[in-house]
Structure 1
Amino acid sequence: MYTIPGHHHISMITKNGQLNNQFYTKVLGLRRVKKTVNQDDPSMYHLFYGDLIGSPGTELSFFEMPLAGRTYRGTNAITQIGLLVPSSESLRYWRKRFELFKVKHDDITTFAGRKALPFEDSEGLRMVLINNNGEDIPEEWSAWNESEVNQKHRILGMGTIEITVRYERKLAETLKEMFGYTDASRTDEELIFQSVPGRAFGEIVIKQQPGPSEKPGRGSIHHLAIRVRNEVELQYWNKVVQANGFQSTGIVDRFYFQSLYFRESNGILFEIATDGPGFTADSSVENLGKTLNLPPFLEKRRTEIEAKLAPLE
C-alpha cells in the first residue's frame, strides 16, 4: 500500500495579483516560482510561491479573480494555513517583521500543540507561522538564497493545515481509513492527523463547527493538494477514491504535475498531485517565475491570453 508523504500545495483566491505578489515575495520572502494561468480559465493568473524550485510541500498558489467579493467565514472550509519556520527565535523575528510591515497578527500562542504566530494577509487569508523546532523536513526542500528574509528565519514550507467541518468524524475517517493518516492528538476542540508520524509537513487539524458553510471570496482557500510520488501512485489513489464512493475527476495533466480532484463528505475539495515533472519543466532554475509560462496546449493562444492579463512586476 502506498502512503502520502505530505502536503503538495494549497490554492487560494486573490483579487489583486500585483498586491498578492508584493506580499508573498517582499513580506514573506517566498520565491515566485511560476507565473502561469488557470488552465480551466486562462483569463486569470495562477501564481505559485515556494522555495528555490517550488518543491512539493512548499507551494502556495493563487488564482487571481478581480471580481472576487469578500469571504463570509463559516464551516465546511479549509480555514488556516500553517507555515513552518525554524525556531522560537524565528517567531520573534517574524513578529517584529509583521510590526514593521503593518501585517495584522496576534501574539505568539500555541497551534496544534506547537508554538505559533497567527497572521493574515491584506485580504484576510488566515495563516500561522509554526515553530518546527528542529524537526526533519523533506530533504528536497531547498532554500532560496535571494529572499529578503534572514535565511536563519525563512519560511521552510507548509505545515499544519486547519479544516473546519460540520461532521468531523466523516473527514477523520477519510484521512485515516482511506489515506492512512495516523492519529496524533484528540481533544474536545480538535483532531490532529499526520500522513508522516510526528511531522507537521503532512499534518491536518480538524475542527468541528456547526452553522452555515463558508461563502468563498478573496482570501479564501480553494483546495488542498496532498502529495504522491508519481503517476503509478496517482492511478492507485484514483481507484481508492472511487472504491470509497467518492466521485473522482480522473487523472488530469497539469503539465507541471498530474493530479485528480474529489470532494469528501463535508464538501472539502482535495487534490492529489504528483511530485513531477515540476516547475523546471519549461524554465531554468534561474528564470523561474520571471515570465509567463503556458502549458503546451495553451501556447498557441499566448497573444490572446497575454492581452487579457494585467502586467505583473
Structure 2
Amino acid sequence: MAPTTRGLHHVTAIAGDPQENAEFYVETLGLRFIKKTVNHDDTYTYHFYFGDGEGTPGTNITFFPWGDRGRSGQFGAGQTKTTAYSVPSGSLDYWIDRLEAHGVDVTEPTDRFGETVIEFEDPDGITLSLVATDAPTAHPWEASPVPERHQLRGLNSVTLAVNEIEPTADVLTTGLGYEFETEEDGRHRYRATDSGSGSTVDLLETDRARGRSGIGTVHHVAYKAQDTTEQERWREHLADQNLRVTEIIDRTYFQSIYFREPGGVLFEIATTEPGFTVDQTDDELGADLALPEWLEHEREEIESHLPSFETPSRI
C-alpha cells in the first residue's frame, strides 16, 4: 500500500536582510523565533525557523536570508505563488488593522472555496495569505505580540504555479496521496487524507516562463512523514513513479528527502521528529546560534562570516 502524507510540514523561502525578516515574522505576524541555525549546504547563510509556541510541524515557515550578496528571484512557473496560514474565524478584521498599522498593504477580503481570504506580501515580496477557519492552534505562544485568540494557527495551504496542471496533479495524487477536491476560477484544489490544517494544495496554471530562485521566492515545500521507516517507503514509492529522489539527509530537527516534480517545484518529505528541542531546551529556543555537531568545530569561523543580526527580544 502506498504511503499518504498528512499534509504540509513547512515552507522554506529565501529572504534578503535577516533582521528585517525576523522582525516581520515575529513582531508583525506574531510567530515564535524557533531556531537560529545555518543552511547546511551554505554554512555562511543563516537558516531561520518561525512557528507556533513549540515549532510544531505544520506551523513552520523557514528562511535562508541571503543578505546583500543574494540575487533577487523572479516568480514564474514551477514556484510557490502563495503560502497561506489559518487564523480564527472572526479575526480577519483584527489582522487587516494590524497589518495596515505595520505599513503592510492588504487586499480586500475575498471568498475562495467558501472561505474568506486576505493577501499581502512580506518585506521581500513573498505572497502570504490568511484564511479564516475554525482550525485549532497546536501550541499558542504566550510571549507573542498577537493575542492568543488571534494568533496564526498553522499553515493552511500552498498555491503552486505550473505551466500544466496534470503532471503536478499526478504527483500530488498518485505520488503523495492527495485527492482532487474541486475547481474554482481556474484554481484546482487537492486535499490530503488527513483533512486538518495544512492539508490543502492548490494548483494554478500560468503561461509564465520558469521562475528563478532568489530573494523573494519560495525555495521548497515540505510534507510530513512520521519517521525514517515511512520515508524509505516514500523513496521506493516515488522512484516507482519515475521521480528522482535523494537519499535521506539529516537536518538535525528532522530527516529529509527531496525531489522535483515535473512542473518544477522542489518538494521535501520531512519527519515529524526529533524536533527543535533536540539541541536546546524550550526556554532556549531561538536564543543562540544552534549548529549541528558536525559543524561545531567551525563555529568561530562560521560566526565570523554571518551577517550582523540581533535576535528578536521575543523568543
TM range (shorter): over 0.9
Q: Is 1:259–2:261 an aligned residue pair?
A: no
Q: Is the 8 A contact 1:194 1:200 kept in 2?
A: no
Question: Does 181-190 or 13-22 show the bigger shift?
Answer: 181-190
Divergent runs of 4+, >4 A: none
Find the counterpart in structure 2 of residue 166 from structure 1. Answer: 163
Matched, 1:126 2:127: yes
In structure 2, C-alpha distance between the alignment counterparts of 1:3 and 1:218, rounded to whole Å: 32
CA distance in 2, matches of 1:4, 1:213: 27
Give distance in 1, aligned partners of 2:189 and 2:173: 11
Matched, 1:311 2:273: no
Contact 1:111–1:130 (8 Å) recurs in 2: no
Q: Gaps (5+ residues) in structure 1?
A: none
Alpha carbons of structure 1 residues 135 and 61: separation in structure 2 relative to 1, 3 Å = closer
Alignment TM-score, normalising by the size of structure 1: 0.95
Q: Contact (CA 8 Å) 1:12, 1:221: kept in 2 or not?
A: yes
Cα deviation per residue 1:80-123 (whole Å; 9 max; x = unaligned)?
00001011x21110000011111121111124541111111111
Find 2:237's aligned residue among 240, 247, 260.
240
Question: 1:170 offset after TM fit, Å?
Answer: 0.5
Aligned to 1:282, which of 279, 282, 304? 279
Q: CA RMSD in A?
A: 1.4
- Residue 143 of structure 1, CA deviation: 0.9
Whole-angstrom distance in 2 between the partners of 1:33 and 1:200: 20
Q: Take 1:112 and 1:268, find their aligned partners in 2: how far apart are those partners? A: 24
Aligned to 1:207: 204
Q: What amino acid is aligned across from residue 76 of structure 2 in structure 1?
A: G
2:143 is aligned to 146
Q: How many Å apart are 1:200 and its aligned residue?
A: 4.4
Q: Which amino acid aligns with 2:310?
A: L
Change (3 A) 1:250 1:56: same
* Residue 179 (structure 1) aligned to one of 172, 176, 180: 176
Which letter does structure 1 place at the counterpart of 2:83?
A: I
Among the aligned pairs, what percent are the same residue?
33
Counterpart of 2:81 (choices 79, 82, 85) is: 79
Contact 2:36 2:289 in 1 (8 A): yes
Aligned positions, number: 308
Deviations 1:193-244 (A, max 9, x none): 0113544411000001123112232221000000011111011101111111
**Distance in 1 separating the partners of 2:135 and 2:197:** 9
CA distance in structure 2 between the partners assigned to 1:197 and 1:106 by the alignment: 30
Q: Secondary structure at the match of 1:105?
A: coil
